[in-house]
Structure 1
Amino acid sequence: MKILVTEFMDAPAVQGLRDSHEVTYDPQLVDDLPRLLQEAPKCDAIIVRNRTQVRGELLAALTRCKVVGRLGVGLDNIDVDACQTREIRVIPATGANAHSVAEYVIATAMLLLRGAYASSGEVAAGRWPRSALSQGRELAGKTLGLVGYGSIGQLSAKLAKALGMQVIAFDPALTDSDAAFSELGVTPSTLDGLLAQADVVSLHIPLVESTRNFIDERRIATMKKGAVLVNTARGGIVDEHAVSVALRNGQLGGAALDVFAEEPLQAAPHFDGCPNLILTPHIAGLTTESNERVSSMVAAKVLEVLA
């Protein structure tokens, strides 16, 4: 059988697929739609990351396909309902990159609260901004608010608790009595209560129509003044312009955005000069270790379907 891999996959996992099937592996194929559409009808399985859009024209071309392997957890680039109608299995790498994302959440929260790690150039040039950088905040004793409390949110909570944070979480899919709260000592909260209390707000919800621009100007205004916002979920959840305004006027004390409404992010002048802002190119879930876990998990599950 033939397997098509359109974006980066860890080499040992690709070799594992090749041991029993014909594999076309080209990480640049995602950017060559004509060739992608030419290869699609020949494949029995397709493996993608977040940029390959498995919908519309491409999905129509997958006439032999039995399974879509997703090297990650978000499924907004895949028309899951249409795949089900065509009896195509969709397999995400659930849980495989959770630790990487959770570490990103805690690391960026620490950086933003302390606000002291962008001074290398000044210090090396002979300046000594000690007074300006002496008002940073500690993570311990602060409150982490998790909007969404699935596997990544729960692991973020575990790491935060180990560092002395209080953790509250809002998740409409869970009841307040759910064991996921009590087992980690996390307090369930309403959304309004969370935004008002949290020193760090971290987003862990999917992008659907009801969550588009979920964190907008109005909700940012209800947040604790000086709070830090971390978004590793999906870019469309956050109104990026509203974040830039809130950073400039001091309503937000910092923000880390790993995902954007349009990716790759084009020139974004509204972010120019924003204080205490971290922008990263959708890599919170990408580390050497998580790439290995994600790739091996998806490869194994795709092989099971094709067996």
Structure 2
Amino acid sequence: MTVSQPVILVTGSDLAQEALDLLTNFEIIYAGRQPSEDDLCLLCEKHDPVAIIVRYGKITARIMDAAPHLRVISKHGSGIDVIDQKAAAERHISVQSAPGANAAAVAEHAWTMILACAKSVLPLDRRMRQGHWDKSTHKSVELEGRTLGLIGLGAIGARVARIGNAFGMNVIAYDPFAKTFPDGCHSSSLDALLQNADVISLHCPLTEDTRKMINSDTLALCKKGAILVNTARGGLIEDDDLLRSLDNGTISWAALDSFTIEPLTAPHVWQYVDNVILSPHIGGVSDTSFVKMGTAAASNVLKVLAEPLKNEGVLP
């Protein structure tokens, strides 16, 4: 008689082999690249997973209720705002994340976007392809001596800060929860940061306190011509307000790697704004971080499943 293995549901189409090597005692079910709530509910009802590893999509109370033996929801990365944490707590389901696993990848992507904005990489490329030679008229933004303002100073923000310091920038950060600041990075209030920063880079989680924190009021404080980069969460920005700031020159360039609704629907207004650089929320996905996030997510699953059941004090 064959004994079936417990199931782990992955809301994606793959995991790093190194992660799979940790989970050989489980059956892995993939939900695909863009699973809907209905898709995930059907898979939970069919397979009754003990764990969900979250790559894409949101995990709602309805999905949790479709998996009566679910014990852990493990994020393939650090952002757990896509998981209904209140619903998980009410159902005694552990929520785990992998902070820092993709920090290097996101920090590198943030700097790629900062430099692309400051050095006009995309418009210069377009002009060259159209036959123009703008050497006598173009002037890029030199970052040395300019101010880099970081909103959020976790593992990613701290890396971005250190790189800014290496560029010779004045680095300031707003993070009411930060206990330490990297060398060369100074604490700032949010208002002071917005008023003084030539480059603003977002690295904070999406919470009720930070939702739409970049809006008409905060953008009005910004230094004219500032660059805004978001490799965190799309919900941090009020899109219509940013669009107006880009149009009137308050913000000279924006670079966006995350969006309020993902995947970005087409046609979308950002596709037609020349001073916006777009990428499809891939800042945290590199060859190395894919392995780090996968193994961290798998290890978190194993850690929780090795613990005795706490639900109502009943042991398995």
With normalisation by structure 1, the TM-score equals 0.90
Match of 1:107 among 103, 106, 112: 112
Check the 8 A contact 1:72/1:94 in 2, yes or no. Answer: yes
**5+ residue gaps in structure 1?**
none
Check the 8 A contact 1:248/1:275 in 2, yes or no. Answer: no
**Aligned runs of 1:185-264 on 2, under 5 Å?**
185-264=184-263
1:170 has 2:174 as partner: yes
Number of the residue aligned with 1:37:
41
Q: Residues 306 and 272 (structure 1 numbering): CA distance in 2 closer, same or farther, change over 3 Å?
A: closer
The Cα shift of 1:272 comes to 4.8
The Cα shift of 1:210 comes to 2.5
What is the identity percentage for the equivalent residue pairs of Structure 1 and Structure 2?
Answer: 38
Match of 2:144 among 134, 140, 153: 140
The Cα shift of 1:35 comes to 4.4
**Aligned runs of 1:34-113 on 2, under 5 Å?**
34-41=38-45, 42-51=48-57, 53-113=58-118
SS at match of 1:102: helix
Check the 8 A contact 1:16/1:299 in 2, yes or no. Answer: no
CA distance in 1: counterparts of 2:271 and 2:136, whole angstroms: 25
Check the 8 A contact 1:6/1:27 in 2, yes or no. Answer: yes
Please, what is the CA RMSD of the aligned residues?
1.9
Q: Residues 29 and 278 (structure 1 numbering): CA distance in 2 closer, same or farther, change over 3 Å?
A: closer
CA distance in 2: counterparts of 1:85 and 1:299, whole angstroms: 23
Check the 8 A contact 1:50/1:72 in 2, yes or no. Answer: no
* CA displacement, residues 107-150 of structure 1 (integer Å, 9 cap, x when unaligned): 21111111144333432443212234x21111222211011111
Q: Residues 126 and 28 (structure 1 numbering): CA distance in 2 closer, same or farther, change over 3 Å?
A: closer
Check the 8 A contact 1:9/1:291 in 2, yes or no. Answer: no
The Cα shift of 1:65 comes to 0.8
Check the 8 A contact 1:73/1:92 in 2, yes or no. Answer: yes
**AA matched with 1:91:** Q
Check the 8 A contact 1:146/1:168 in 2, yes or no. Answer: yes
**5+ residue gaps in structure 2?**
1-5, 307-316
CA distance in 1: counterparts of 2:19 and 2:80, whole angstroms: 22
Number of the residue aligned with 1:283:
282
The Cα shift of 1:306 comes to 2.4
The Cα shift of 1:269 comes to 4.9
CA distance in 2: counterparts of 1:287 and 1:247, whole angstroms: 30
Check the 8 A contact 1:108/1:256 in 2, yes or no. Answer: yes
Q: Residues 148 and 17 (structure 1 numbering): CA distance in 2 closer, same or farther, change over 3 Å?
A: same
**Large movers: runs of 4+ above 6 Å:** none
Check the 8 A contact 1:255/1:277 in 2, yes or no. Answer: yes
SS at match of 1:3: strand
Check the 8 A contact 1:116/1:136 in 2, yes or no. Answer: no
SS at match of 1:43: coil
SS at match of 1:187: strand
1:123 has 2:128 as partner: yes
Check the 8 A contact 2:77/2:293 in 1, yes or no. Answer: yes
The Cα shift of 1:184 comes to 1.9
* CA displacement, residues 236-275 of structure 1 (integer Å, 9 cap, x when unaligned): 1101122222112211111111111111122355435423
CA distance in 2: counterparts of 1:39 and 1:121, whole angstroms: 46
The Cα shift of 1:14 comes to 4.9
SS at match of 2:82: coil
